[in-house]
Structure 1
């Protein structure tokens, strides 16, 4: 989604509203600290003039020396507090934004994330969110500090002479506003391109790692490396252009400060020569101007980093603003029906323009096993996903406990159903923790019973650390059959009233298939089961068999 930079900043500022008090403290300390930083050379100059008999010092030299020491210490303390507050705000907000992003992804899954670039998503929830630290820690309060310092310096220099104040304010505007805007515009779309290219590169690397066996098997390593080099060089080129713009911006900032400070010096000399200001006033005005550019240089430096930060913020907002294809039903707004069966009534469903189900109807009574058979791509898996309400039907309705699943509270629906797909995902964690996702408070006895039912208990006990054995990332340390049996054990542990099994024995040998089917047969009457399978042996245990062809059930 295309948003203006102003819109992105406004949205990100809205997220910081709960920490407004800390932001006010950071700004106050920042302003006070820069007042000390500017006041030190001004007071030192006044003291030097007084000591040379060229000016007056109301407090006396000892008091001035003490004040200088106090301001030096205060400057360090105030700067520390300001930075501590800014980073506290930033890291608290980054944690909050990560929570929002993961919550949004959970709501978007699986319908809106089917086929999404996982590498780009990983880049967004890691590096893009991390880049927002620049905005919250190094942008918001510096802008406020610079604006307030402009007011303070305008009043101080205006007291000496209005022309000095006007030139100083114009200089601050040029350095703190015009330069960063020009730098940002000079970056063009490279900031967004850099973030998109980084996300695409992450996706390419992740894809290559997951398919490393195939890459080695078919000798595609050189081609993949060449593509990796091309993408890396493209990203490096974009980042180099951004660095070039940043370098030119820093040079322009330094040059502008020198020219503007010189103009202020010439103006002060001219006013002093004309008797409009005293010599002491002219010196103090010049010293104050020279030492007051710190807050505005900080803004000028943002021009080179803010473009990438705003691009990262835009990508994060894309996720937060994405509307889920299937809206969750809150507990207090949905029904919580007792399970009295499930049904699909005259269901029609399409993926984009491809018709998958057409007037499909079936019913599943409590305690019965229903098999669904049909050729690959006929819509069997889609039917299971509609029963889980991963998608909503285009026509007809899907029911559980007599209620349309679109009205059932999402939490209640997830409690009532368990779904085992052909590919079981295992987290990089212990076997025990992978299983306990289904029921965190399960006892060891329940865990063992579920694994026995899935014919995987003996395999787990034979591992070096039993149930505490770590599973490799994506379950790569296990075979397909072992992962599938762990998926079945997880579903059995969930103890749902409706169990949806999509090709549950496709990766099992004959012996383990027989054990799993016997377990399902032994549990007949405990729960309803929808069994999707190509194997006649699997469908043999069903009480009722549906055939699916061209999206229709018979």
Structure 2
């Protein structure tokens, strides 16, 4: 992950606010007015105490009541605008992140840590709320409010206005920059440790049966305790720094306020002027104190922002084609194809011609590149060299939508969502009728099983299909393939989890539909490949 400066991260995040600039201006104006009301309450009280002739006592009481009432209303309105902006932008960022994940999949997502991605999608994006709701407008509010207070202080003398300006710069600019630089590393590391813990927990939950079977639970528990301790140490480090930040900020406020009093004494100001000016100074630090405290709380936000932006900027291994060619998928030619992944040679000088409506079987040892070949035909990855031609056109130049429409791919593992069986099948064809879904399930020999369930096709499937057996999940995947009804069908060990009876029924349905399809089988089973037009063998990364 390339490192980004804090300013680069902030500038990228701020650009997203422009469509909602009207709400941001409202939040700033109401925030300034609200803080001025809060400041004027003690200032007016001090004026009443010293019997300042500017306002009568009766007028001061009315102004105090008005300021107190407006302070609550304006504060609520400011926060409402800020959080409206924040939640709108978080929704927009989530949409962009999911778009980036779609763009990067499947090639790059196969090697990314799933727990890390979950942490980014949930916690990291949520942390950006601090920036949008509690950072941008407070900076502007602090600037405008401080400027107004400096102008009021100048009514007592230019030296007091200048001193107030310097005091606001120290608390609102110097301290936040210093604190942010000191705490950024802690915040970035905290987000990393949180992501690592998420990954470890997710991995442990998925492998719980294996851990129990091999009595490995104690080791996994020790690992969980270790990951938790690392995160707790980072959090403790962060909390200690935040405590130091608050103490340092309060110390600066006290010393700077005391400094103004000493200037009044040194210049022989009147007691009335010193009291009102000092009260104004002390009460006006609120907006800049909020900025000083942001220095530590933003450390996590900076880390989260960097992780989100890095994902959005990541370049996919395979670019989606929109304005390309359209093919009918009548013929496939694989010519001199080489493919390597992370410097490991998977395919070398691969040559294969597949004719229309032909059924091809592929056999080979594990690691010979059979599954990789199917992924290249799906264009999940691009070949390192050589060409894959569809109807004489390079697969790289075909519209991605054309590929997805005309290719059906059944993997060794069928992924099911926490939804109804019907909706899980509609993944293959969203506008499918219930009759089409049932026909596909009959071909996959799972219709009767679904009908036997209390809610039939409306039965909910648990996460990752855990409520179904391996064979049932595989038949669901085959039902999707039948429903998709694509021209080119790629089957990677499609019957590995099925008994011979179910395998025979499904193979019969597949071969029955071959009249208008080109089918590529990858399997170790002789029975699966028995009716193929030809069977090729892959050895040493090539066709033998």
Compute the TM-score of the two structures, normalised by the length of structure 1. 0.95
Q: Tell me the residue number matched to 2:353.
A: 363
Deviating beyond 6 angstroms after TM superposition, the runs of 4 or more aligned structure 1 residues are: none
Are positions 1:210 and 2:202 aligned together? no
Q: Write out per-residue CA displacement over residues 296-322 of structure 1, whole angstroms, 9 at most, x where no aligned residue.
A: 111111122111110011111111111
Deviation, structure 1 residue 453: 1.0
Are positions 1:520 and 2:478 aligned together? no
Contact 2:184–2:302 at 8 Å: present in 1 too?
A: no
After superposition, residues 89-488 of structure 1 pair within 5 angstroms as: 89-187=85-183, 189-271=185-267, 273=268, 278-330=270-322, 333-488=323-478
Deviation, structure 1 residue 119: 0.5
Deviation, structure 1 residue 283: 2.8
Contact 1:366–1:525 at 8 Å: present in 2 too?
A: no
Measured on the aligned residues, the alpha-carbon RMSD in Å equals 1.5
Q: Distance in 1 between matches of 2:237 and 2:176?
A: 16
Q: Structure 1 regions of 5+ residues with no counterpart?
A: none
Deviation, structure 1 residue 532: 0.9
Contact 2:184–2:300 at 8 Å: present in 1 too?
A: no
Relative to structure 2, which stretch is displaced further, 146-155 or 218-227?
Answer: 146-155
Contact 1:249–1:304 at 8 Å: present in 2 too?
A: yes
Q: Write out per-residue CA displacement over residues 88-135 of structure 1, whole angstroms, 9 at most, x where no aligned residue.
A: 111111111111111111111111112221111100110011111011
1:393 is paired with a residue whose SS is coil
Q: Distance in 2 between matches of 1:101 and 1:508?
A: 38
Deviation, structure 1 residue 188: 5.3
Q: Distance in 1 between matches of 2:132 and 2:119?
A: 19
Deviation, structure 1 residue 454: 1.0
Compute the TM-score of the two structures, normalised by the length of structure 2. 0.97
Q: Distance in 1 between matches of 2:297 and 2:90?
A: 18
Q: Write out per-residue CA displacement over residues 319-369 of structure 1, whole angstroms, 9 at most, x where no aligned residue.
A: 111110111112xx2122233233322211111211111121223333221
Contact 2:48–2:60 at 8 Å: present in 1 too?
A: yes
Contact 2:184–2:303 at 8 Å: present in 1 too?
A: no
Q: Distance in 1 between matches of 2:358 and 2:298?
A: 61
Q: Distance in 1 between matches of 2:16 and 2:357?
A: 49
Contact 1:180–1:249 at 8 Å: present in 2 too?
A: no
Q: Write out per-residue CA displacement over residues 432-472 of structure 1, whole angstroms, 9 at most, x where no aligned residue.
A: 11111111110011000111111111121122221111112
Q: Tell me the residue number matched to 2:23.
A: 22
Deviation, structure 1 residue 279: 4.5
2:363 is paired with a residue whose SS is strand
Contact 1:47–1:57 at 8 Å: present in 2 too?
A: no
Q: Tell me the residue number matched to 1:502.
A: 492
Q: Distance in 2 between matches of 1:484 and 1:371?
A: 19
Q: Tell me the residue number matched to 1:541.
A: 531
Contact 1:268–1:286 at 8 Å: present in 2 too?
A: no
1:226 is paired with a residue whose SS is helix
Q: Distance in 1 between matches of 2:354 and 2:425?
A: 27
1:159 is paired with a residue whose SS is coil
Q: Write out per-residue CA displacement over residues 222-252 of structure 1, whole angstroms, 9 at most, x where no aligned residue.
A: 1111111111111101110110010011111
Q: Tell me the residue number matched to 1:3.
A: 4
Relative to structure 2, which stretch is displaced further, 456-465 or 304-313?
Answer: 456-465
Relative to structure 2, which stretch is displaced further, 472-481 or 262-271?
Answer: 262-271
Are positions 1:31 and 2:21 aligned together? no
Q: Write out per-residue CA displacement over residues 198-234 of structure 1, whole angstroms, 9 at most, x where no aligned residue.
A: 1011000000000000000011111111111111111
Q: Distance in 1 between matches of 2:54 and 2:270?
A: 15
Q: Distance in 2 between matches of 1:408 and 1:188?
A: 45
Q: Tell me the residue number matched to 1:532.
A: 522
2:110 is paired with a residue whose SS is coil
Q: Distance in 2 between matches of 1:223 and 1:532?
A: 38
Q: Distance in 2 between matches of 1:184 and 1:373?
A: 59
1:189 is paired with a residue whose SS is helix
Are positions 1:49 and 2:50 aligned together? yes
Contact 2:441–2:476 at 8 Å: present in 1 too?
A: yes
Contact 1:438–1:494 at 8 Å: present in 2 too?
A: yes
Q: Distance in 2 between matches of 1:116 and 1:211?
A: 18
Deviation, structure 1 residue 68: 2.2
The size of the alignment, in residue pairs, is 543
Deviation, structure 1 residue 278: 5.0
Deviation, structure 1 residue 77: 1.1
Contact 2:346–2:368 at 8 Å: present in 1 too?
A: yes
2:402 is paired with a residue whose SS is helix
